[in-house]
Amino acid sequence: MKLTPDIRVKETWLSRKPRWHASLVTAWSIFFLLVASVMYWKDIFNAASWMPVWQEAVLVKHEYWRLWTALLAHADVGHLLSNSITFFIMGYFLSGYFSFWFFPTSALLMGGVINYLVILGMPPEVKLVGVSGVVYWMAGAWLVLYFLIDKRRTITQRALRSMGVALGVFFPASAFDPTISYKAHLYGFLIGLLCGAIYYYFNRPKFNDALVYEIRYEEDIEQAVLDREAAELKRLESSEDYN
């Protein structure tokens, strides 16, 4: 009898544990955000004047550094906390599974690009602060990398999981707030998807080398089913004896 093999992916790049330094990198990044935000709140070294970004400062005065210093400042403690939670979770996975150049380096570089795109559509006098654009970049990058790498599951399963996380990230916790830059969220997420796809493309051989396949034959599958049924029957009999 000719048996048809059932070949499945058993392990992927994401099956391994995140690198040991993941929590340290993310924790130090958040600590840096905290210190910079305190400087902004207390106006230490006149930080309140040179950290925010707005149209005139970049397009007229060419103070391009503001595109990045604005990432480090936050309006208040609540603003910092709301960003820090997702930042830590996404940062842990990105730094744990991918290169240091992807996170935090590329994330912060893209944060400046996101801020530039945002201020182009903002009223000239409105100032922008906060790392939320980077947070959404991180979410977008992680989702597309997860979708492309986790081949243990079907495309449909991966798509549903990704959409579920995306809805959790994008679903507003409160009603519309005019102080929140929703454009930063959108641009960050879209650019994150693009960067994640590009990163996967150039590192695809490495990710494919990490795939571990499991080959099972029809008889093995039937035996596994019989073993599960026998174990379940034994469990039920033990339960009846106990009662």
Whose CA is closest to 141, among 180, 95, 173, 81? 95
Which pLDDT band, with edges at 50, 70 and 90, does 159 fall under?
A: confident
| Tens of pLDDT, residues 225-238 | 667 777 776 666 66
**DSSP three-state, residue 69:** helix
On whether the CB atoms of residues 128 and 54 are closer than 8 A, the answer is: yes
Residue range(s) in the chain whose domain bears CATH number 1.20.1540.10: 17-209
| Tens of pLDDT, residues 36-48 | 999 999 999 999 9
Supply the pLDDT for residue 202: 96
| Tens of pLDDT, residues 163-221 | 887 777 666 555 555 667 789 999 999 999 999 999 999 999 999 999 998 876 655 55
On whether the CB atoms of residues 217 and 2 are closer than 8 A, the answer is: no
On whether the CB atoms of residues 112 and 67 are closer than 8 A, the answer is: yes
Supply the pLDDT for residue 226: 61
Fold designation for 17-209: Rhomboid-like fold (1.20.1540)
- pTM, rounded to two decimals: 0.83
